[in-house]
Amino acid sequence: MIYKFEVGQSVVPACPLRPSRNTYVVLKQLPLTSYEPQYWVQGVRSGVDCIVCESQIEAADDHRPSVSFAAMGTLETGIQSAKRS
């Protein structure tokens, strides 16, 4: 068996329970003991870690953010300029 995800790679749940998709980072590829590879992952925002099967996650690179980074920069700039006023 070959691992699909590398240590340090960002992943998201394949079937999220909530509309906002939390991002996780692969901390470790676990030894092959079941019918599919398993990973130890940790939430980027929450810090919560768990073990997941390969079928439960997808590469985060395959998904576009809901808000573009350009828009985020505009929002931050607007907030900073409002604080200066």
Distance CA 61, CA 74 (A): 23
pLDDT digits (tens, 9 = 90+) for 19-72: 877 899 999 999 998 789 999 999 999 999 999 999 999 999 865 444 333 443
Distance CA 49, CA 38 (A): 13
pLDDT digits (tens, 9 = 90+) for 46-59: 999 999 999 999 99
Q: Residue 33 has what pLDDT? A: 87
pTM over 0.75: no
Q: Residue 58 has what pLDDT? A: 94
Task: Report the 3 state secondary structure along 44-83.
Answer: CCCCCEEEEEHHHEEEHHHCCCCCCHHHHHHHHHHHHHHH
4-to-25, 46, 56 alpha-carbon distances in Å = 14, 24, 12
Q: Where along the chain do its domains lie?
A: 10-84
Q: Residue 69 has what pLDDT? A: 38
